[in-house]
């Protein structure tokens, strides 16, 4: 049973560029959340997708956008990259209705470095 998979694992971009990160949820899961984790900090909630719609959003600018596909996979897009966007981007999945228990399954993350 495949867990949450993310790609790419590492990437380097320059300021002003755009990046797309991808996530496939754990089998049987339909809800995907994205988190940003700066070095030495806890993961910060970006947004959550269900049924191809953004259900809730954290305190991130509109440069951060996402998409969920019919197969429940998801993309995170970041435009006009800033140095401060350098972080580990984590994808987490769960099954709708089981959110209350808080058991999220995380991928290994995509490490983005902005130069």
Partner 1 sequence: LAKTTQPISMDSYEGQEVNITCSHNNIATNDYITWYQQFPSQGPRFIIQGYKTKVTNEVASLFIPADRKSSTLSLPRVSLSDTAVYYCLVGDFQGSGTYKYIFGTGTRLKVLA
**Kind and range of the H or E run holding 26:** none
- Pick the binder of partner 1 from 7, 27, 56, 77 (CB under 8 A): 56
Q: Does residue 106 touch partner 1 according to CB under 8 A?
A: yes
Tell me if 54 contacts partner 1 by CB under 8 A: no
Contact of 93 with 29, CB cutoff 8 Å: yes
Residue 59 touching partner 1 (CB under 8 A):
no
Q: Considering the rule CB under 8 A, would residue 41 count as an interface residue with partner 1? A: yes
**Please, which residues bridge with residue 50 across strands?**
31, 53
15 binds partner 1 (CB under 8 A): no
Q: Is 48 helix (H, G, I), strand (E, B) or coil?
A: strand
Distance, in Å, from the CA atom of 12 to the CA atom of 18, rounded to the nearest integer, reads: 11
Q: How far apart are CA 26 and CA 17, in angstroms?
A: 30
User: How many CB atoms are closer than 10 A to CB 58?
Assistant: 14
CB of 24 to partner 1, least distance (A): 13
Q: Closest CB to partner 1 among 44 and 65? A: 44
Q: Which residues are near partner 1 by CB under 8 A?
A: 4, 33, 35, 41-45, 48, 55-56, 58, 88, 90, 92, 97, 99-109, 111
């Amino acid at each position: 049973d495949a867990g949450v998979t993310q790609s790419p694992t590492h990437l380097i971009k320059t300021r002003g560029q755009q990046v797309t990160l991808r996530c496939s949820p754990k089998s049987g899961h339909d809800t995907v959340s994205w988190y940003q984790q700066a070095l030495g900090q806890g993961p910060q909630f970006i947004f959550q997708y269900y049924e191809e719609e953004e259900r809730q959003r954290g305190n991130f600018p509109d440069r951060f956008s996402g998409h969920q596909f019919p197969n429940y996979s998801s993309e995170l897009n970041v435009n006009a990259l800033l140095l401060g966007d350098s972080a580990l981007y984590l994808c987490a999945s769960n099954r709708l209705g089981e959110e209350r228990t808080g058991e999220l399954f995380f991928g290994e993350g995509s490490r983005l470095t902005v130069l």
